[in-house]
Amino acid sequence: MQEQEITQQTEGKTEAILAYITIIGLVIAFVMNNEKKYPFATYHIKQSLGLMITGLVLAAISLIPIVGWLVYIVGMFLLFFLWIVGLIKAVNGKMEPVPVLGEKYLELFKNL
């Protein structure tokens, strides 16, 4: 019984890992996941999409001189850390949100 649960949880692992590899990978994972809707892949697609949107917001903030640049630099280091954590969780087959912002991403993209 436990082996079946592990198999069901990690179905879609390829899509989940692919979602963290560039924006093209996110689009490919989204299209691949539309066919079967694996919960594991959907979970990590939501996390990756949140990270990508956060990166775009940071890029917009960087247009503000001095203060925006500082926020951008610190934010990008944090975002890189969150991206690594999310990718590691996808590779290890864990459905855990990325620290700090992961729960917000799930709430924001609940209809995805």
CA distances from 54 to 12, 33, 96 (A): 24, 22, 18
Q: What is the mean pLDDT of residues 10-36?
A: 85
Among the ranges given (51-55, 76-80, 104-108), the one the predictor scored with the smallest mean pLDDT: 104-108
pLDDT level of residue 10 (50, 70, 90 thresholds):
low
Q: What is the mean pLDDT of residues 16-37?
A: 86
Q: Domain limits of the chain? A: 2-108
Residue 4 has pLDDT above 60, yes or no: no
Closest CA to 49 of 76, 31, 80, 27: 27
What is the pTM (predicted TM-score) of this model?
0.82
Query: Of all residues in the chain, what percent are helix, strand and coil, respectively (each to 5)?
Result: 75, 0, 25
In tens, the pLDDT along 68-100 reads 999 999 999 999 999 999 999 999 988 899 998
